[in-house]
Structure 1
Amino acid sequence: MGGLSPDPREVVSGLLGDERLLRACAERDMGALFRMLNARGVSTRRIAAAVNITQGRVYDYMNGKSRVEKLALFEQIADAFHVPGHLLGLARRPWEPVPTTVEHQRVGHPPPDSDDLVAMDHFRTADRQTGGSRLYGAVVRHLSEQVAPRLVGLGSGPQVFTAAAALTEMAGWMAHDSGHNDCAARHFARALTLARASGDMSLAAHVAASNSHLARETGDAATAVGWARTGLELAAQGPRIPALTARLHTMQARALAVAAQRTPAVRALEAARGDLEASADADHPWLSPFDAAAMASEAALILRDLGQYDQALTHAEQAVTLREAGRARSLALSRITLVDIHVRRGDLDAAVHVGHDLLSTSPTLGSVRVLQQLDDLRLLLEPHRGYPPVREYLTRFDDAHRARMLLLADVIPPHREGTTR
């Protein structure tokens, strides 16, 4: 069969519009690529010879016993079979033609990612006000109907993978906000693969920060620290974006604080503050903003977990002050943190005062995260029911909660951690 084996470059060329090939490359699953070549008549001996490995290793990759991990081997595979570099998260290969404006932008149409940027800005603005539960389906539809078809097109370039990565990461956050953490984890994993495929290491680092957040939220502080460190390594490969590294240092600090690692947590928090004050080499339109309000909110939680309640209070009050009226969810979460810290400091009157402000949160805010934190807050207040202002507040709280659940019945089912879509 060896003499009749077709040219693998021609086989790959004919598969560049095949979603299975694109998926295998995006996931860096070279075993799947080899299986596709073999199914189309390319012998395992020819595959092995082309990439300078043994047939035994080819079989191991095809059977899932091992995976290609080394960058040099990915480059050999790309060059041997003429797989475009960006599909494997590599630089443009020497044999690839230099793109022209005509190749990457049709006359009379905007660049491929401009519509996606506009859509993402709209989704992001609406999400801040209404919560992820109401928008998750719309984002997933945009990905499947508007973005996915371009991923498998012959003219797809790195910018399409960048858009797909950013919007997939957004879908992950909306799934998380809806209480579906398993689903969020799958979106984040896919987003990281797409970001790597695009060659955008800053976006990959941004997704790593999201993975760190999710790991901490699901009780795995060690993994959260690991993701933050991975993100910092990825960020170092791209342009200097201080807001990005500040977010990553903050995620690291939060996970370390949860693990009661006081000194390294404080050190990471100081690094985050220093980065946020630095000037950037470049802006990145796809990254979610990490600003002074976000920094104050995260610092309050870090210091709370470290038991430094007076310092935490200062940052929590600053976070509430800095939140915009159009950021309903962030404002609600910041107020929850502030009430929490007041209770831990023993200032029940201040806790009740902020708690009444919290009840003004839009009853249609579709965020399971907010509902879960409200539930936790109620548990924190319950032992103080003997104090009349707290007892009166809990009565109002329970009435507001029942009304909220009725209004959200169409978008939020009874929530359980780990439920998936």
Structure 2
Amino acid sequence: MDRQSQDPSQVTAGLLNDERFLAACRQRDMGALFRLLNHRGVSTRRIASAVEISQGRLYDYMNGRTRVEKLVLFEQIADAFHIPGHLLGLARRAWEPQTTERHDKPGTYPRVDGDDLAAMDAFRSADRQTGGSRLYGAVVRHLGEKVAPRLVDTASGLQIFATAAVLTEMAGWMAHDSGRDDLGAQHFARALPLARTSGDLPLAANIAASRSHLALHTGDPASAAHWAHMGLSLAGKGPRIATLTARLHAMQARALAAGGQQAAARRALDAAHSALETPSDADHPWLSPFDAASLASESALVMRDLQQYEAALHHAERAIALREDGRARSLAFSRITLVGIHAQRGDLEAAIRVGRELLNASPTLGSVRVIHQLDDLRRLLEPYCAHAPVRDYLARFDDAIRSRMLLLADIITSSRGGTPT
């Protein structure tokens, strides 16, 4: 006998942050989707009735003996279970809020709950100063305990999907900062459909920029360019937000530079600088901050990859000069970039001078990503160890790295094998 059947649309709302559900939608594997719904309490009788098929046909789909192929049946499934059309490659469904694909008025976003905004700001502030490695578990718990239950509450409205998207993206960044890039990619993949469901296209574009960044970090400039392009397309459908557009153009420039496309990378970087100087139509409470210091940091990386070291040096020094002391991790990354540029220019004395500042700054910063970049920096300096000042600096460097590794030992162990708690 079938179990007591839950409301299908509420069950679906609770699955919009579930990678298994999202994968089933991407692959148009309706058998897997039906199994998930059934596992969550929607009876087979109700599933079959909702999509107007026999239970025998439903069992064929669920057991993998056949697949849904007809467009009309995909549409019936989307409408029966309130699956947003874009998840199945369909047009926006009639029941979806109009804001899912447009913003007619500048500055129109789903209402932001004050408690949600305060929680996000608190997590973001702590992350900037201490790194995300030790905050990841807290954000995931907050998502599970405070946010996920509200996704199935129809009284919450669209705002809760934006909240879930922002915090899921934040969890992705913290996983990335902990050296768990696969886990970070999973969070980013879940965040994007949540943002689109909320109707907040600038937020969706911001998450696309994060996916572009992660693709660059993992050595996939083609994917990075794809996500930057998608983000620019999404951003173009909403109000003009200078910082968002600048960030996306900067990600595009970095992807093009990593791919060796010098002229196109320079054009994209020029577009980023122009965008940041253009007045915005609106502010946005959820987006990742991106300011002149951020753009200077990205510009330094673009110029470095293009082997334009004098320009890279200018941007790297500007990034450090503009960066607030409270942004410990950003300062660390900017100093690592600057040391590397000095080394690539052959100015070893300058590299050591900035390198000493780097080792003195924020020794307890909880970021595995900083450790990995320091490792890369050491490999860059090793060929010059015959030079006594470099050799002495590397000895001090190794002592500092050992101290940092001891402080992050539990996190590094988790990133190499275990599931984070």
Deviation digits for residues 206-244 of structure 1, max 9, x if unmatched?
Answer: 111111111111111111111111111111222211211
Partner amino acid, structure 1, of 2:15: R
Asked if the contact 1:178/1:412 (under 8 Å) is kept, the reply is yes
Residues 8, 81 of structure 2: 8 Å contact kept: no
Question: By how many angstroms is 1:198 displaced?
Answer: 1.2
TM-score normalised over the length of structure 2: 0.82
Residues 211-360 of structure 1: pairs in structure 2 closer than 5 A: 211-360=211-360
CA apart distance, 1:73? 8.3
Aligned to 1:83: 82
SS at match of 1:281: coil
**In the aligned structure 2, how far is the partner of 1:119 from the partner of 1:95?**
28
Alignment size in residue pairs: 390
- 2:45 match: 41
Please state how far the C-alpha of 1:162 moved relative to its aligned partner: 0.3
Question: 1:25·1:33 contact (CA, 8 Å) conserved in 2?
Answer: no
CA deviation vs aligned residue, 1:19-66 (integer Å, no higher than 9, x gap) = x553169856372665648844247586258xxxxx999976995977
Residues 9 and 81 in structure 2, CA contact (< 8 A), matched pair in contact too: no
Distance 2:414 2:327 in 1: 25
CA distance 1:399–1:287, change in 2 (3 Å): same
Identify if the C-alpha distance between structure 1 residues 400 and 189 changes in structure 2 by more than 3 Å, giving closer, same or farther. same
Report the AA paired with residue 318 of structure 1.
R
**Alignment partner, residue 22 of structure 1:** 14
Instruction: Give the aligned residue type for 1:300.
Output: A
Counterpart CA distance in 2 for 1:67 and 1:245 is: 39
**For residues 82 and 340 of structure 1, do their structure 2 counterparts lie closer, same or farther at Cα, with a shift above 3 Å needed?**
closer
CA distance in 1, matches of 2:201, 2:65: 27
Equivalent in the alignment of 1:204: 204
Change (3 A) 1:389 1:25: closer
Q: Percent identity?
A: 58
CA contact (8 A) 2:225 2:256 kept: yes
Alignment partner, residue 107 of structure 2: none
Per the TM alignment, residue 139 of structure 1 is displaced from its structure 2 partner at its CA by 0.6
Q: Distance in 1 between matches of 2:180 and 2:93?
A: 37
- 1:69 & 1:277 partners in 2: Cα distance? 49
Going from structure 1 to structure 2, the CA distance change for 1:58 and 1:293 (only over 3 Å counts) comes to farther
Distance 1:265 1:134 in 2: 35
- CA distance in structure 1 between the aligned counterparts of 2:406 and 2:398, rounded to whole angstroms: 13
Kept in 2, the 8 Å contact 1:60–1:66? The answer is yes
Secondary structure, aligned partner of 1:279 = coil
What secondary structure is seen at the aligned counterpart in 2 of 1:318? helix
Aligned to 2:178: 178
Secondary structure of the equivalent of 1:362?
coil
* 1:82/1:412 CA distance change after superposition, 3 Å: closer
Q: Deviations over 1:321-351 (max 9, x none)?
A: 0111101100010000000000111111111
In 2, the alpha carbon distance for the partners of 1:67 and 1:380 equals: 54
Match of 2:105 in 1: none
What's the secondary structure of 2:155's corresponding residue? coil
Note if 1:123 corresponds to 2:123: yes
Q: Distance in 1 between matches of 2:62 and 2:281?
A: 41
Gaps of 5+ in 1: 1-10, 50-54, 97-110
Give, as a single letter, the amino acid of the residue that structure 1 aligns with 2:14.
Answer: L
Displacement of 1:84:
8.5
Partner secondary structure for residue 307 of structure 2: coil
Distance (whole Å) between structure 1 residues aligned to residue 81 and residue 47 of structure 2: 17
Give 2:388's aligned residue.
Answer: 388
- Tell me: CA distance 1:153–1:415, structure 2 relative to 1, closer, same or farther (3 Å): closer
- Report the residue type matching 1:210 in the other structure: S
| Amino acid corresponding to residue 406 of structure 1 in structure 2 | L
Whole-Å separation in 2 of the counterparts to 1:178 and 1:95: 37
Deviation of 1:409 (Å)? 2.6
Structure 2: which 5+ runs fail to align?
98-110
8 Å Cα contact 1:240/1:280 also seen in 2:
yes
- Structure 1 distance, partners of 2:337, 2:70, is 42
Is residue 2:113 matched to residue 1:113? yes
**Pairwise CA RMSD of aligned residues?**
3.5
Distance verdict in 2 for CA 1:92–1:60, change over 3 Å: closer
